[in-house]
Structure 1
Amino acid sequence: MQDEKNKPVKRRFIAGAVCPRCGEMDTIVNYRLGDKNYRECVNCGFKDEIRIQSRPAEIPTRVNESGLDKEVETPVKILEPGPAKKNRK
């Protein structure tokens, strides 16, 4: 079993990313050391820690809410049919 410190670091290029220092596109690699993520430019050597933010709370919508909390519909007034009326001219 290998120790985590001896494992090779898996680096991935970020497509379309622009380096904030040199302005070159497609030169940024992303990698993880321990519990921190880093980005690094292979062109100029810029290095920065990426702070991972937690997911924002999901906005309640009719799609993701259950229908159990709906109010029970009650009729306001029931109309009974009366005797038929003849048309007057």
Structure 2
Amino acid sequence: MTAKRKRFIAGATCPVCHSADTLAVWREDNSYRVACVKCGYTQGQDDDMISAKRPDKENIIGIFHPE
């Protein structure tokens, strides 16, 4: 397994210790992992997140396309 670059999630709050700006995300084994660098909390991507559907196009106001 190769080490992947961890990226911090700006403004995110840890659900366990409630510290802000301490969550890091990285990709591992074709799924995303999140960890708090302060308390050690970790969470993996579950099947519900992978199979989540996008909302109906009728309910979307607009899609942002950065140039």
TM-score, normalised relative to structure 1: 0.54
| Structure 2 CA distance for aligned equivalents of residues 50 and 25 of structure 1 | 21
Equivalent residue, structure 2, for 1:36: 31
Task: State yes or no: 1:12 paired with 2:7.
Answer: yes
Tell me the secondary structure at the aligned position of residue 31 of structure 1: strand
Deviation at 1:38, TM superposition (A): 0.8
Query: Max radius of gyration: which structure?
Result: 1
Q: Which amino acid aligns with 1:40?
A: A
Amino acid at match of 1:15: A
- The RMSD of aligned alpha carbons is 1.8
Q: Normalized per residue, which structure has more strand? A: 2
Question: What are structure 1's unaligned runs of at least 5 residues?
Answer: 62-89
Alpha-carbon offset, residue 44 of structure 1: 0.2
CA offsets, 1:29-69, max 9 Å, x none? 001111111100000000011343444144248xxxxxxxx
Any stretches of 5+ residues in structure 2 without a counterpart? 60-67
* 1:59 aligned partner: 57
Instruction: Give the share of equivalent positions with the same residue, in percent.
Output: 29
TM-score by length of 2: 0.70
Which consecutive aligned stretches of 4+ in structure 1 deviate over 4 angstroms post-superposition? Answer: none
Work out which structure has the larger RCO, using CA pairs closer than 8 Å and 6 or more positions apart in sequence: 2
